[in-house]
Chain A
Amino acid sequence: MKRLGIATGFLALGLLIFATYASVSQAQMMAPPGGDYKKVSALVPLPDFLPGLGTLYVQPKTLPAGPFLAYDREGHLVSTVYMIPIKDIDAHKKFDDLSVAKDMKVDHVDMYFNAGHPGVPEPHYHVILWYIPESKAEALK
């Protein structure tokens, strides 16, 4: 009887973890992602929608690297973006355990130099994990 109680407890705990994980995952698939994520345009002077990227959300404590969650005009998650300052690359800085959007299949990855913008006002690299095909990504205007 006692073993059954312990097993039931673990099962309940497992279901709770799964439910939390699933709800986080579901929450991130549509904007706004909730939790500690804030719309970037509410934190720094940037337009709501950035051509080529979408509408960005970030947890301020993770700046500058991110992840930034990017959504299209309909509010669908389209990519996760990391912004890595060149000076950190030059300094061989290690970035550990950067979080990812859950349950999303990466279609392709883009990496390109950016000269800077409010929030990350220094030259850096954008590393973008796209969840949509390149043709749709190019249409984000």
Chain B
Amino acid sequence: MLTRRGFLTAGGLALAGLAVPRSARAARTVEIRMRSDTLGTQVWFDPIGLLVEPGTTIRWVVEQNVHTTAAYHPTNDMHSLRIPERAQPWNSGYLVQPGSHFEATLTVEGVYDYFCLPHEIAGMVGRIVVGKPGGPGALPFDYFKGKLGAVGWKAVPSAAERAFPTVTAIMAHGIVRKS
């Protein structure tokens, strides 16, 4: 069962001192920073790839710029399904102020791909493996083409496809940062 909790600004300062642990597997809450340079030229999730145990809470925190975190799921503006079929999708909505954050607890094993709405085309995406790899997120990006029930699903933009860390790299390192 996935639970969602959205927080705006409150508690942001308290989070500033937290860091992502070297190994996320043992942590119950893991933080992903939503980053940008000053001009908004470069935008990214940090880390971009993560391996966690089922039941881990992911907390996305805005460091700079305006971001969202949303699961690749048809309920999110017809994006293609790239989280486990039994998992519940999330969509934070816009997180405007530095320190704003959003949490989701991931309980179903598999690969979870997610994106930032205003920056998806520029390649701001992330991937989390919960437990072991599996589900639609572990399949090729075009797996749904021609399938019944997938009419109207949006393909992953090419810059986003290139940005995803491989499942192999996530399984090997536990945490993958943008190079």
A115 at interface (Cβ–Cβ under 8 A)? yes
- Complex formed: what's the CA distance from A112 to B38 in Å? 12
- Complex formed: what's the CA distance from A114 to B97 in Å? 18
- Complex formed: what's the CA distance from A137 to B41 in Å? 18
Q: Pick the contact of B65 from A117, A121, A122 — CB < 8 Å?
A: A117
Chain A residues, Cβ within 8 Å of B66: 45-47, 117-118
For window 61-94 of B, CB contacts with A under 8 Å fall at: 65-66, 93-94
Q: Let me know if A116 and B39 touch, CB within 8 A.
A: no
Q: Is the interface of B mostly helix, strand, loop or mixed?
A: loop
Q: Let me know if B43 and A47 touch, CB within 8 A.
A: no
With contacts A46-B66, A123-B121, A123-B122 taken as known, whether A115 is within 8 angstroms of B94 at the C-beta atoms is no
How many contacts A-B (CB < 8 Å)? 50
- Complex formed: what's the CA distance from A52 to B94 in Å? 20
A75 at interface (Cβ–Cβ under 8 A)? no
A113 at interface (Cβ–Cβ under 8 A)? yes
A133 at interface (Cβ–Cβ under 8 A)? no
- Complex formed: what's the CA distance from A47 to B66 in Å? 8
Q: Let me know if B96 and A52 touch, CB within 8 A.
A: no
Q: Pick the contact of B119 from A45, A47, A113, A116 — CB < 8 Å?
A: A116
Q: Pick the contact of B97 from A47, A117, A123, A126 — CB < 8 Å?
A: A47
With contacts A52-B39, A115-B43, A117-B40 taken as known, whether A45 is within 8 angstroms of B94 at the C-beta atoms is yes
Chain A residues, Cβ within 8 Å of B65: 117
> In the complex, what's the smallest C-beta–C-beta distance from B46 to chain A, in angstroms?
15
Chain A residues, Cβ within 8 Å of B121: 116, 121-123
For window 73-119 of A, CB contacts with B under 8 Å fall at: 112-118
Q: Let me know if B94 and A114 touch, CB within 8 A.
A: no
When C-beta atoms are compared, the residue in chain A nearest to B67 turns out to be A117
- Complex formed: what's the CA distance from A51 to B37 in Å? 11
- Complex formed: what's the CA distance from A43 to B66 in Å? 14
Residues of chain B at the chain A interface (Cβ within 8 Å) = 36, 38-43, 65-66, 93-94, 96-97, 117-119, 121-122, 124
